[in-house]
Amino acid sequence: MFSHHDLRSLVAFQPDGFPVVSLYLNVDGRQYSVPQCVERLHQLIRRARTELLTAYATEQISRSVEQDLDAMTRYVGAEFDRGIWKGLALFSCSAQRFWRAYPLPHSVPDAAYVEPRPYVHPLAQLLSECPRTVAALVDREKARLFEIELGRIIEVEGVEDKVPGRFRPGTHYGLEDKDIERYVDVHILKHLEHAAAALEDLVNREHPTWLVLAGTPDVVPQFRRVLPHDIELLVAGEAHDLMIIANPREVLLNVVKVVERARRERASKILYEIRESAGPNGRSVIGVDETLRALYMEAVYKLAVDNRLHSSGFACVSCGRLFTVTGNCPECGHPEPATVHDIVEAAVELAVSQDAIVTFISDGVESQVPGGMAALLRFQPPSFANSGENAETNHAR
Ligand SMILES: [Zn+2]
């Protein structure tokens, strides 16, 4: 399953001058038969050959791209088993023996790119919109744990403890009713602590963005109280209609609703924080060019991108600074920058490589990203407040 770890490894890949072919294919069985998928793949490959290959002159490079396209054709035709998958993302750089295939539980628009680096924009967007989640269902003797990512759910090992019943005095050798209560409560508490430890292990292993709790209504609040503070902070909310015996599909449907609400709230909060801390000495930047400069300074902590933003731009061939206004590099003044077809892709790659949190803001969120792109900063870079005085910047977007 595709994860943040994979995204980071794609962004970190150094192809050493060879182009990388990135291919996205919608393989959703509700829309396309297998032969239709293969036919669309062939169309993409043909287009990549004729349009994109012409951009790469040397024979060594052309050969690498040809091998990439052959490998992708072979993979889709002979190796890939569609099963439940709806999307497919392939990355190849044959000259560097680099190959990655990620079946996706969400469909993606068909596209092929031959670029100097893996094209990750659609995957970063998917991860932002379907964040990794862990769900815990608890009752007085059982805890079931689930990992959920990109619409897929896997049940992992939970815990089960023997807890005595409250109303079987015969088993409690002469204990008074209230003693039985206490005796049982101690066992339930031990069970919940046991479950919390298992959950903590899972969270430390999987690093989910969110945690969703569910189960018996009077047990869930007790469980929440025994969670370590840093785990409790991840709780997106509680799913109220889930019984301990729920099947994974029911768990998935309910958890996704809770996460979707939490995701919207978090997006609104990020946008609020960005607006509140904007200003000459503030800890946020608004607008594409301001944000690109903050990324260049490695100052971005949280990047917010309007998911409808599509813009080309430039990259300085000397210092690497990204910008969108025609002219010399606003950082070092170097003339003749390289054209960047998708400035969002370039910004996302930079943000991921700097461990910033990338949030794509979709239509469902009430407010929009000011300027299409904005960021909360880790620190205010030196002379940042004075930036842009000499360069032509783009506040008005
Ligand atoms: Zn420069």
pLDDT score at 174 = 59
* Rg (the chain; Cα; Å): 26
pLDDT score at 371 = 87
- 211 C-alpha vs ligand 1 centroid, how far in Å? 43
Q: How far apart are CA 115 and CA 108, in angstroms?
A: 19
- 345 C-alpha vs ligand 1 centroid, how far in Å? 19
- 348 C-alpha vs ligand 1 centroid, how far in Å? 19
For residues 223 and 189, the answer to whether their CB atoms sit within 8 Å is no
DSSP code of residue 356: P
Q: Which of 44, 11, 5 has the alpha carbon at shortest distance from 121?
A: 11
What φ, ψ does residue 156 adopt, rounded to 5°? Answer: -110, 175
- CATH classification of 278-396 is 3.30.1330.30, yes or no? yes
- 355 C-alpha vs ligand 1 centroid, how far in Å? 23
As given in the structure block, the two tokens for residue 3 are: 């994860």
As given in the structure block, the two tokens for residue 331 are: 């950082």
- Ramachandran sector of residue 109 (left: φ over 0; alpha: ψ -120 to 50; beta: rest): beta
Helix, coil or strand: residue 376 = strand
- 374 C-alpha vs ligand 1 centroid, how far in Å? 21
Q: How far apart are CA 194 and CA 224, in angstroms?
A: 13
Helix, coil or strand: residue 48 = helix
For residues 352 and 270, the answer to whether their CB atoms sit within 8 Å is no
- 332 C-alpha vs ligand 1 centroid, how far in Å? 4
- CATH classification of 133-265 is 3.30.420.60, yes or no? yes
pLDDT score at 387 = 45
- 379 C-alpha vs ligand 1 centroid, how far in Å? 22
Query: Quick count: other Cβ atoms within 10 Å of Cβ 5?
Result: 9
Q: How far apart are CA 48 and CA 128, in angstroms?
A: 28
CA angle 352, 47, 346 (to 5 degrees): 15
Taking 3-state DSSP, the helix, strand and coil percentages for the chain, each rounded to the nearest 5, stand at 40, 20, 40
Helix, coil or strand: residue 19 = coil
In DSSP notation, 158-226 reads EEE-----TT-GGGGTT--HHHHHHHHHHHHHHHHHHHHHHHHHHHHHH--SEEEEEE-TTTHHHHHHH
As given in the structure block, the two tokens for residue 51 are: 């349009």
Per-residue pLDDT of the chain (397 residues; tens, 9 = 90+): 677 888 999 999 999 989 999 999 999 989 998 889 999 999 999 888 876 666 666 888 888 889 999 999 999 988 998 887 889 999 999 999 999 999 988 889 999 998 889 999 999 988 888 888 999 999 999 999 999 987 789 999 999 998 887 665 555 565 677 777 788 888 899 999 999 999 999 999 888 889 999 999 999 999 999 999 999 999 999 999 888 999 999 999 999 999 989 988 888 999 999 999 988 888 999 999 999 999 999 999 999 999 889 999 999 999 999 999 999 999 999 999 999 989 999 999 999 999 898 999 876 666 788 889 999 999 887 665 444 444 444 443 3
- 320 C-alpha vs ligand 1 centroid, how far in Å? 6
- 60 C-alpha vs ligand 1 centroid, how far in Å? 30
Helix, coil or strand: residue 238 = strand
pLDDT score at 369 = 85
- 285 C-alpha vs ligand 1 centroid, how far in Å? 20
